[in-house]
C-alpha cells in the first residue's frame, strides 16, 4: 500500500497531537490501574485505537485517546492497593471507578467538566456529583487519618524530665 499525501498529513498531524496528550493518557491509565507497565500498554493501545477515529474526523484527538483509555481500563481490574490515591490518602481506596475517573480527569489531567463528560460518557451534572463525592470521601479520609488533638486532655499523665549527668542543663 502506497501512502498518499493526505494519509501522510493525517499521520503527521496525529503524531503531533499524540505527543501533546500522551502524558495525560498515561497518567489517567496509571491512576486507574495502579501499574506502570499496564498503564503504558493501555496508553499505546488507546493511541492505536484512536487513529482510525481521528482519520474519520470523529472529534478531538486528546478526548478520543482519553475515552479509549477509560474503556480499556474498565475492562481490567483496578489494583486499588497500588493506586497513588490510595497510598497518598486512605480515602482513595473508598472511591468507586466513576468517582476516581472524574477526580483524575478534572483535578490531575485538568479537563473541563464538559470534556470529562465526553470522555466518560456521562452527563455533566453527574460528573459534578461524582467529583463532589470523591472530594468528600478524600476529605473525610484525611479527617479520620489525622484526628484533631485535644490539647486540654492530651497529657494527662505527668511527664518526668531528667537531666543527663554532665550536661549543661545541670549547671
Q: What pLDDT, in 10s, does the model give residues 72-122?
A: 998 775 444 444 444 444 445 578 999 999 999 999 999 999 999 999 999
* DSSP secondary structure, 25-36, as one string: HHHHHHHHH--H
| Tens digits of residue pLDDT in 132-161 | 999 998 887 765 555 544 545 555 555 555
| Tens digits of residue pLDDT in 92-105 | 557 899 999 999 99
Contacts of 60 (CB under 8 A, 6+ apart): 115, 118
Is 5-146 assigned to CATH 1.10.4160.10?
no
In this prediction the pTM is: 0.67
Rounded Cα–Cα distance for residues 4 and 134 (Å): 48
Rounded Cα–Cα distance for residues 82 and 25 (Å): 18
Q: What is the dihedral of CA 47, 120, 111, 103, to 10 degrees?
A: -120
Q: Provide mean pLDDT across the span 10-22.
A: 88
**What pLDDT score was predicted for residue 4?**
58
Is the model's pLDDT at 33 over the cut of 70? yes
Amino acid at each position: 500500500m502506497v501512502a498518499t499525501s493526505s494519509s501522510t498529513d493525517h499521520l503527521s498531524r496525529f503524531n503531533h497531537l499524540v505527543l501533546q496528550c500522551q502524558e495525560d493518557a498515561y497518567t489517567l491509565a496509571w491512576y486507574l490501574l495502579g501499574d506502570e507497565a499496564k498503564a503504558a500498554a493501555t496508553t499505546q493501545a488507546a493511541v492505536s485505537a484512536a487513529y482510525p477515529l481521528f482519520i474519520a474526523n470523529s472529534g478531538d484527538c486528546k478526548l478520543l485517546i482519553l475515552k479509549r483509555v477509560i474503556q480499556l481500563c474498565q475492562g481490567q481490574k483496578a489494583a486499588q492497593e497500588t493506586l497513588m490515591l490510595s497510598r497518598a490518602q486512605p480515602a482513595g481506596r473508598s472511591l468507586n471507578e466513576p468517582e476516581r475517573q472524574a477526580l483524575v480527569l478534572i483535578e490531575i489531567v485538568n479537563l473541563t467538566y464538559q470534556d470529562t463528560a465526553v470522555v466518560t460518557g456521562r452527563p455533566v451534572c453527574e460528573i459534578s456529583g461524582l467529583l463532589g463525592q470523591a472530594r468528600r470521601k478524600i476529605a473525610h479520609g484525611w479527617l479520620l487519618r489525622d484526628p484533631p488533638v485535644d490539647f486540654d486532655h492530651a497529657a494527662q499523665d505527668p511527664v518526668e524530665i531528667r537531666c543527663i549527668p554532665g550536661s549543661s542543663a545541670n549547671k
